[in-house]
């Protein structure tokens, strides 16, 4: 039997189409994925992401441990509430997972992907054996992501004055505790918004309040097209243990400091010295059709890579994709039904705050 979030019955009651996602029963849509996508770009939507895994770290060696565990450096987190995006690598430099880590008053909070939960926890506990820190999975918590231009005002209108005032103090990529609620100005859509990590019963009531006040529920389908437009990687599609951050458009999340060692660093250093052979890029197709994962990418007479994520962009009204290709490959085409169709290489993201940002 699949796992279910505290919001499960509310999804069913709302007529959601439920699918198995990483062992969880999750809503793919509530009728129209495109309408849900446009809702987030134009007003506000709420997505249940309680399948994600929350892990708290405490103890004197927590910082030293995370400086070893992550390719990015938590030394950057200068004050409680600050967030950091990072890859967690294996010994060969492959991406075990991507995650967000927050500095809190008592330690650190990590949010990792549900499909990698088991291996993440095993790896974290194994690496923590040499450090004095306490690892606690917070399975009793739920996570709601409220995203869109009107999202913050919608949430503030439904919470008490203390919580609304607290939300006003948050800057993008900053979060913190307001009582038992952890609220962060983070998201996976390229829009402003908040993610609320809160007790399960509170999440059920907040979901009811938000949807009762006109905030539309958003399924994983729209969440995927939103994140793709925002140029954000999906673990298992755009990166995994077979590739490094340098091959996954994540070079800016790697801190190669001579004074710090971290898991996978030796492989990344060797890769820099040897040369990086492939890169993750954005693709835009103006012809009709849809770019999809695993479609081959060609330059001249040879295949130079393949699409890792692709979809029709509801915001841009044409197809977009992320693709891993040989570095420097140009004049690209994608193979679609025995035909090679011209595409244009761009730097992600494709969309920010509802507007096109890529340049041809």
- For the chain, domains (ranges, CATH) are 8-51+139-229 (3.30.1360.120), 54-137 (3.30.70.1400), 245-356 (2.40.30.110)
- pTM value surpassing 0.95: yes
Q: Which pLDDT does position 42 carry in this prediction?
A: 98
| pLDDT tens, position by position, 215-224 | 999 999 999 9
Q: Which pLDDT does position 251 carry in this prediction?
A: 97
Residue 1 has pLDDT above 90, yes or no: no
Place of tokens 């892990």: 55
> Percent of the chain having pLDDT more than 70?
100
The rounded distance, in Å, linking the Cα atoms of 84 and 76 is: 8
The rounded distance, in Å, linking the Cα atoms of 243 and 235 is: 11
Residue 205 has pLDDT above 80, yes or no: yes
The rounded distance, in Å, linking the Cα atoms of 63 and 86 is: 14
| pLDDT tens, position by position, 180-203 | 999 999 999 999 999 999 999 999
Query: Mean pLDDT across the stretch 97-106?
Result: 97
Query: Mean pLDDT across the stretch 83-103?
Result: 98
Cα–Cα nearest to 224, from 343, 312, 114: 312
Residue 118 has pLDDT above 90, yes or no: yes
Taking 3-state DSSP, the helix, strand and coil percentages for the chain, each rounded to the nearest 5, stand at 25, 35, 40
Average pLDDT, the chain: 97
Q: Which pLDDT does position 235 carry in this prediction?
A: 97
The rounded distance, in Å, linking the Cα atoms of 264 and 293 is: 27
Q: Which pLDDT does position 335 carry in this prediction?
A: 97
| pLDDT tens, position by position, 265-304 | 999 999 999 999 999 999 999 999 999 999 999 999 899 9
Query: Mean pLDDT across the stretch 152-160?
Result: 98
Residue 26 has pLDDT above 80, yes or no: yes
Contact present, 59 and 134 (Cβ < 8 Å): yes
| pLDDT tens, position by position, 300-356 | 989 999 999 999 999 999 999 999 999 999 999 999 998 999 999 999 999 999 999
CA 244 to chain CA centroid, nearest Å: 17
> Percent of the chain having pLDDT more than 90?
99
Q: Which pLDDT does position 2 carry in this prediction?
A: 87
């Amino acid at each position: 039997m699949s796992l279910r979030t505290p919001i499960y019955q509310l999804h069913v009651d709302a007529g959601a189409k439920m699918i198995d996602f990483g062992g969880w029963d999750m809503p793919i849509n509530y009728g129209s994925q495109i309408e849900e996508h446009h809702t987030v770009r134009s007003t506000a939507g709420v997505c249940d992401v309680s399948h994600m895994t929350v892990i708290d770290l405490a103890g004197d060696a927590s910082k030293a441990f995370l400086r070893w565990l992550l390719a990015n450096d938590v030394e950057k987190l200068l004050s409680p509430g600050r967030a950091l995006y990072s890859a967690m690598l294996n010994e060969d430099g492959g991406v075990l997972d991507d995650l967000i880590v927050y500095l809190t008053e008592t330690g650190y909070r990590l949010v990792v992907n549900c499909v990698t939960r088991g291996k993440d926890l095993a790896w974290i506990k194994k690496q923590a054996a040499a450090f004095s820190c306490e690892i606690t999975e917070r399975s009793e918590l739920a996570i709601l992501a409220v995203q869109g231009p009107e999202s913050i005002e919608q949430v503030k209108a439904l919470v008490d004055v203390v919580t609304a005032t607290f939300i006003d103090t948050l800057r993008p990529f900053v979060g913190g505790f307001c009582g038992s609620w952890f609220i962060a100005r983070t998201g996976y859509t390229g829009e402003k918004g908040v993610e609320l990590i809160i007790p399960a019963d509170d999440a059920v009531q907040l979901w009811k309040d938000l949807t009762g006040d006109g905030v539309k529920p958003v399924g994983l389908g729209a969440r995927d097209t939103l994140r793709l437009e925002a140029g954000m990687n999906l673990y298992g599609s755009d990166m995994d243990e077979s590739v490094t951050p340098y091959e996954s458009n994540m070079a800016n999340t790697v801190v190669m400091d001579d004074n710090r060692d971290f898991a996978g660093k030796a492989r990344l250093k060797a890769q820099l010295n040897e040369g990086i052979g492939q890169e993750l890029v954005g693709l835009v197709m103006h012809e009709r059709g849809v770019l999809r994962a695993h479609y081959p990418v060609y330059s001249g007479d040879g295949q130079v890579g393949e699409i890792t994520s692709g979809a029709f962009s509801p915001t841009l009204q044409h197809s977009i994709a992320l693709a891993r290709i040989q570095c420097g490959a140009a004049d690209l085409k994608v193979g679609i039904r025995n035909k090679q169709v011209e595409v244009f290489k761009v730097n992600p993201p494709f969309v920010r705050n509802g507007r096109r940002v890529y340049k041809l």
